[in-house]
Amino acid sequence: MLIVPPYCTASKDGIGIRPYHHEDGVPMYEAVAESLDYLNTYLSCFRNTNQQEIQGLVDACINVWTRGDQFFFVIFDTNTNQILGSTSVDRIDPFHYFANLGYWVRKSALRRGVATTASLLAAKFAFEQLQLLRLEIVTDLTNIPSQRVAERMGAIKEGVLRKRLVHNNTSHSAFMYSLIPEDLGLPQLRIL
């Protein structure tokens, strides 16, 4: 199913998600720059970034949306429109109807429930719009905040994946969490 922007959803908590726009380059760069010290601990994609590289990432997020195989969202404050981070439904497996759910939040928005709220909105999109059967959240064994987000969403920890992630040129083991529509009280929409 092709989902055409502008897809946007907001929560009662003032947190929204929407597809990236070309104009998001500068404010996204500011969010990344503010958070680089902790983002680099777990995400290699933000190492040594500059404004031009972030603009390239924003444009890539826009382009992959049109193909319908990856969906990257801006997390934003619905009252101020400030960019708070990003969440995504990517690595979609069209044969087994599952995908990866990822998220990160800028440093000044941590510990406010932003990642949990936004990721639940992205999960709802994945289950209702894409009709996926399963989302997987893969998080470094030492990334306690990311694990807490997964658990607050209602995801189930399934086990340890050895050498599953590479960041900072080192392989790391990770926890695998899964989320299915029923975990969110949603019906399974896809007819198998």
Instruction: Tell whether the model's pLDDT for residue 39 goes beyond 90.
Output: no
- Beta strand residue intervals within the chain, DSSP E: 9-10, 15-19, 71-77, 83-93, 98-105, 134-140, 156-167, 170-179
- The residue that leads in pLDDT, 12 or 173, is 173
What mean pLDDT is reported for the chain? 86
Instruction: Tell whether the model's pLDDT for residue 1 goes beyond 80.
Output: no
Q: Are 155 and 178 in contact (CB under 8 A)?
A: yes
Nearest to 33 by CA among 47, 16, 17, 19: 47
- The residue that leads in pLDDT, 172 or 70, is 70
Q: What is the DSSP letter of 69?
A: S
Instruction: Tell whether the model's pLDDT for residue 190 goes beyond 80.
Output: no
Q: Are 46 and 31 in contact (CB under 8 A)?
A: no
Whether residue 6 has a cis bond before it, omega within 30° of 0:
yes
- The residue that leads in pLDDT, 105 or 32, is 105
Give me the DSSP letters along 37-56.
Answer: HHHHHH-GGGTT--HHHHHH
Supply the pTM of this predicted model: 0.89
Helices 144-153 and 114-128 pack at an angle, to 10 degrees, of: 50
Domains and CATH numbers, the chain: 9-132 (3.40.630.30)
Could you tell me which residues are beta bridge partners of residue 151?
Answer: none
- The residue that leads in pLDDT, 89 or 49, is 89
Mean pLDDT calculated for residue range 150-170:
87
Mean pLDDT calculated for residue range 93-105:
94
Q: What is the DSSP letter of 36?
A: H
Q: In 3-state terms, what secondary structure has residue 148?
A: helix
